[in-house]
Amino acid sequence: MTTSRLDIEVPNAITVEITDEALTVELSDGRTLTVPLAWYPRLLHATAKERANWELIGRGQGVHWEDLDEDISVEGLLAGRPSGESQASLRRWLAKRTERG
């Protein structure tokens, strides 16, 4: 069987919006992606202020939340990949948040 590699140009993120239920990213090619916030537990457990403190990285190839130590790539969103963080890592992160509380 022959397979061919498909080169796809990944658009850049232009803006981000977050609600209690969803992460929405507007892309440079005109598309808007909306995914469940549950895909990204750190965003799910964040305060509205923490969620609002985002910045585009790599000229829009990703989004970074400094307060949450969270990065999400446009490529991952397009591929439908939720967070790859392990449950153990998430538990440690949540415990640190509680300690700071």
pTM of the full predicted structure? 0.87
- Considering the four listed CATH numbers 3.30.210.10, 1.10.10.10, 3.30.2020.40, 1.10.10.60, the one that applies to the domain covering 13-100 is 3.30.2020.40
18 has which bridge partners? 23
Kindly tell me if the per-residue pLDDT of 40 is higher than 70. yes
Domain boundaries, the chain: 13-100
| Tens-digit pLDDT profile for residues 10-34 | 999 999 999 999 999 999 999 999 9
Please say if the pLDDT value at position 2 is more than 80: no
Task: With a cut of 90, say whether residue 53 has pLDDT above it.
Answer: yes
Edge-first strand order for the sheet with 32-36 is 13-18, 22-27, 32-36
Mean pLDDT of the chain: 93
Q: Dihedrals φ, ψ of 54, to 5°?
A: -115, 160
Residue 12 near residue 33, CB atoms below 8 Å: no
pLDDT of residue 3: 67
- Per-residue pLDDT, 1: 59
Work out the percent of the chain whose per-residue pLDDT is above 70.
Answer: 93
